[in-house]
Structure formats: C-alpha cells, structure tokens
Structure 1
Amino acid sequence: MILARVEGHATTTVSHPSLVGQKIALCTPIDEKGRRVGFPIAALDPIGSGLYAKVFITTDGRFSQSTTGDSASPIRNEIIGIIDSKS
C-alpha cells in the first residue's frame, strides 16, 4: 500500500480495452508529513478523488483487474481510500 497525493488525471487517445472509460489519476508517493518520496505513478480512481487529495493506493494488480472486469488488464495500481484532513 502506498500513501500518495493526487497531482492530476490522465487522458488517453488509445488504451487497453479494459481501461476505456476508467478514470486514471497521476499520484506522487508521499511520507506521513506530505513530502514526496518517489516518482509519480498512475492509478485507477474508481472513487473520484479530487486534485491534491491524499490517498491510499494498492499495488495488488489482481485487485485492480477485478475493478476493470478483465483478468488480462495491464493495470496494477488503484486508489482504495481518501484520507480526510482536519482543519
């Protein structure tokens, strides 16, 4: 599982059939203080996270494939939770 921040969303003109119509977020891994700790990754976003939201990402490809309904889907990462912040 990865803690990350949503930096944007991807748009494609050509993609694997299992990803047509899927929302894909571009996320930067962060530490508990919000500092970047890795390179950006793409992840399915079935829960509709907003820009700069802190999220949990699973790297379980089989779980992500079940979201697309295609066991041959090339997707590996998926946002599975949004972290609420206190004001």
Structure 2
Amino acid sequence: MIFARVTGSVVCTQKDEKLVGCKLLLVQPVDLAGAPKGNPIVAVDSVGAGERELVLLVQGSSARQTSRTQGNPVDAVIFAIVDTVEQGGKAVFRKSEDKDAG
C-alpha cells in the first residue's frame, strides 16, 4: 500500500471497454511528511477521491482485487481516502487539518 496525493485527472476518449465508467486520476506518491516520492502514477479511482486528497493505492495484481477492478486491465487503484494516520501513538496526519488539501 502506498500513500499518494491526488494531483489531477486523466481523460481518455477511447479506452478498453472494461474501463468504461472508470475514473482515472493522476496521483503522486508521498512520504508521511507529504514530500513527493517517486514518479506520478495513473490510477483507477474506486472510492470517489477528489483533487489534492491523501489516498491509499495499490499496484500490480493487488490492483485487480477490488469489486470495481476485478478482471480489468488495471495496474494501480485508489482504494481508500485517508482520514488519520497515527505513528508512535501520535497523529501525524489528520484530514481535517490538511493544509495541502486546499
């Protein structure tokens, strides 16, 4: 599982019929401090994530395990919107206090 920030959307006028109706989002993997980590990823959104939200995603065969992506040609899927992250008994992220979410 990977923390990522939604940075945009991807619109495709032509795509595999199994992906019709799937919303594609551009996400940037981040570390716990919110710093970019690695290259941006295009992911199927299975939870209705919005621009600049912190999300969890999976890649590879795990990406084809959600009800929306099972059996589809998908390499990355957003499966959760993060509300709180605790580390060492302390909250290191709270959606309600997220200055990066806009």
> What is the TM-score of this pair, normalised by structure 1?
0.86
Query: RCO higher in 1 or 2 (8 Å CA, sep ≥ 6)?
Result: 1
Query: Counterpart in 2 of 1:63?
Result: 65
Cα distance, 1:62 vs structure 2: 2.8
Superposed, 1:17-36 pairs within 5 Å as 17-36=17-36
CA distances 1:18-42 after superposition (whole Å, capped 9, x unpaired): 1111111110000000000111101
In the alignment of these two chains, the number of paired residues is 84
Query: Counterpart in 2 of 1:14?
Result: 14
CA contact 2:63–2:69 (8 Å) conserved in 1? no
Amino acid in the other structure paired with 2:46: P
2-side partners of 1:45 and 1:61: how far apart?
11
- Extract unaligned runs of 5+ from structure 2: 84-94, 98-102
Query: Counterpart in 2 of 1:83?
Result: 82
Q: 1:68 to 1:86 in 2, by over 3 A?
A: closer
2-side partners of 1:63 and 1:11: how far apart?
23
> What is the TM-score of this pair, normalised by structure 2?
0.74
Aligned identity (percent) is: 36
Q: Cα RMSD over matched residues?
A: 1.4
